Each structure stands twice: as structure tokens, then as C-alpha cells.
């Protein structure tokens, strides 16, 4: 539990230190924090996480069952995907020399 407290603290720190114009990064961090909070609440109240979305299908006699998950897991994964997209967009802008956004986190002079 204490490790998740530090992880959540880091996410909040990064969110607060991000430039207000970095909407994609801030949205991503909010989704990760919300998903982590949802799973944490389940663990706190129930001592386990309720995973209830289960998709399975059968095609030409072949059956596939996707691992069970919940909305908190979706929020975490979408948030991480958005962070990756934001980092790629920032890298592209830096390489083109027209970056107007600031990186997430504290800015230090070289």
C-alpha cells in the first residue's frame, strides 16, 4: 500500500507541474490516477479487485476468451497510451524545431 501512495504522489506531482497547455499529458495522468484509485478502493474495501468485463468470441470453430478486466484497468491503459502519444508528439516537435510545449515534470537548466 505504501508504494502505491508514492506512485500516486508522483502522478499528482507530475500533473501539477505540467504546463496547463499540455492537455493530453494532463488527461493521461488523470486517467492513470483515476484507474489506480479505483483499483485501490476495491482492494481497500473488498481486499480484492472486481474484474467483470469478459469478452469472448468464436470464429470458424476457434474460440478466444480475452482476459477479464474492469474500467479502472481501461483508464490506466488508455492513460499510458496517451502518455506515449504525447511523448512521441513532443519528440517530433523537438526534432522539427518548433516545440511550443514544455515537457512534463520540473524543468532544469543544463
Q: Is 73 a catalytic residue?
A: yes
Buried-exposed string 99-108: b where 16+ CB fall within 10 A, e elsewhere? eebebbeeee
What's the CA gap between 97 and 88, in Å, rounded?
14
**Pick the catalytic residue: 7, 42, 73, 86?**
73
Query: How far from the centroid of its chain's Cα atoms is residue 70's Cα?
Result: 14
| Degrees to nearest 5, angle at CA 12 with 29 and 32 | 30
Q: Which grid coordinates belong to 102? A: 514544455
Q: Is 51 a catalytic residue?
A: yes
Show which residues are catalytic.
51, 73
Amino acid at each position: 500500500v505504501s508504494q502505491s501512495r508514492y506512485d500516486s504522489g508522483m502522478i499528482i506531482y507530475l500533473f501539477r507541474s505540467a504546463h496547463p497547455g499540455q492537455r493530453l499529458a494532463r488527461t493521461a495522468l488523470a486517467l492513470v490516477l483515476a484507474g489506480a484509485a479505483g483499483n485501490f478502493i476495491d482492494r481497500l474495501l473488498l481486499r480484492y479487485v472486481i474484474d467483470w468485463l469478459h469478452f469472448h468470441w468464436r470464429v470458424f470453430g476457434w474460440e478466444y476468451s480475452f482476459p477479464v478486466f474492469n474500467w479502472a484497468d481501461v483508464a490506466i491503459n488508455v492513460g499510458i497510451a496517451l502518455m506515449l502519444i504525447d511523448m512521441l508528439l513532443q519528440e517530433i516537435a523537438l526534432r522539427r524545431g518548433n516545440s511550443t510545449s514544455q515537457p512534463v515534470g520540473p524543468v532544469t537548466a543544463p
